[in-house]
Amino acid sequence: MFTANDLLKLTDAGVEKYKSKFSSDDEFLVSKVIQETDEYAEYFIITNLSLMKRKKEPQKPLALTRNPAHKYFKHSLDDDGCALFHSYEELSRLSDEQLKNEHPKWLKKRDFRWSLMAPFQSDEAVLKYLLGQLGHAITQHAIDLNVNEKAIRRPLNYYISFGFRKNALLPIDYAKIGSKGLREGMKKTGPKPKNLPELATRMTEPDDVTRVQRLALRNCVDKKDGKFCLKHLHILFLKEYCSYERIVKKGNETHFELEIDVSKRINAQQFNR
């Protein structure tokens, strides 16, 4: 299951699907997961970070429901099979008070850009925009403000591409200054005694087999030599069944990150068996 800030890459099906738009080795970011409502389904907003570096103008992200998102994309993993996530630069997490004191011109530009896209900031409006349903509304809004449409679309694309964050409108090149890290709860450390509580595991259960089978089918896990990639599948299992969301404060922003519940986890050896 994808979560906000996950780094992704294309599956073989994704390379074929987007061969006219993206390079096969492009890197992608899950900007946000828009939750399902009575009006619309769950959507994954996916930004092409590599394209943001190559192009001067910010590109419109993808909006995909669960099945196509997992068909065309997979987690970007390190050499040990741990999922990677995108960490925003400290400058982009400055509070309004800090910006006012340290970068007043940045704050002024950000707030002006924010005002231009004011009618299109809600999740519903963003989805309509990404699905091509707001063309007339944006044109009319540009006429009303007496500005070029790009003055609205440009900040809107930045806002959507980088976590639906107001500070995404700061004059910072986010595509070039973000960094990679291991997903929370999957940090690698040196060898530890097996009796430490953070290495605790539970006994496997009969339902675990069914859960793994469902995960493999639902997430379109790639096969290697006819076998599912166990490292990737284990990570998905931990995120789906052995994790919980915790609130993380970064500057004046609140984020939700997954953390492994050690009372529910099973280790790689148990999983592979």
CB neighbour list of residue 184: distance below 8 Å, 6 or more residues apart: 85, 246, 248, 257, 258, 259
Return the structure tokens found at 180.
């990679």
State the maximum Cα–Cα separation within the chain, in Å, rounded to a whole number: 67
Counting Cα atoms < 13 Å in the Cβ hemisphere of 228 gives: 19
What are the pLDDT digits (tens) for 31-80? 999 998 888 899 999 999 999 888 877 889 999 999 999 999 999 987 77
Q: What is the pTM of this model?
A: 0.66
Confidence of residue 16 (pLDDT cuts 50, 70, 90): very high
Instruction: Tell me the per-residue pLDDT of 114-162, one tens digit each, with 9 for 90 and over.
Output: 999 999 999 999 999 999 999 999 999 999 999 999 999 999 999 999 9
For residues 264 and 41, the model is more confident at 41
d(CA 252, CA 244): 23
Measured distance CA(213)–CA(151) in Å, rounded? 48
71-107 residue pLDDT tens: 999 999 877 777 888 887 777 888 999 999 999 999 9
Q: Are strands 7-10 and 28-34 parallel, antiparallel or unpaired?
A: antiparallel
Spatial separation of the C-alpha atoms in residues 221 and 8, rounded to whole Å: 13
Give the mean pLDDT of 234-241.
70
Render pLDDT for 239-255 as a digit per residue (tens, 0 to 9). 666 766 666 666 666 55
Question: Residue 41 gets which letter from DSSP?
Answer: -
Q: How far apart are CA 201 and CA 57, in angstroms?
A: 48
At 182-230, the pLDDT tens digits run 444 444 444 443 433 344 455 666 676 666 666 665 555 554 444 456 6
Q: Which of 54, 56, 73 is nearest to 65 (CA)?
A: 73
pLDDT of 14 higher than 80: yes
Only one residue has tokens 């006012």, namely: 100
- In degrees, rounded to 5, the angle at the alpha carbon of residue 200 between the alpha carbons of residues 197 and 203 is 155
- Exposed / middle / buried, residue 224 (Cβ in 10 Å: 0-12, 13-18, 19+): exposed
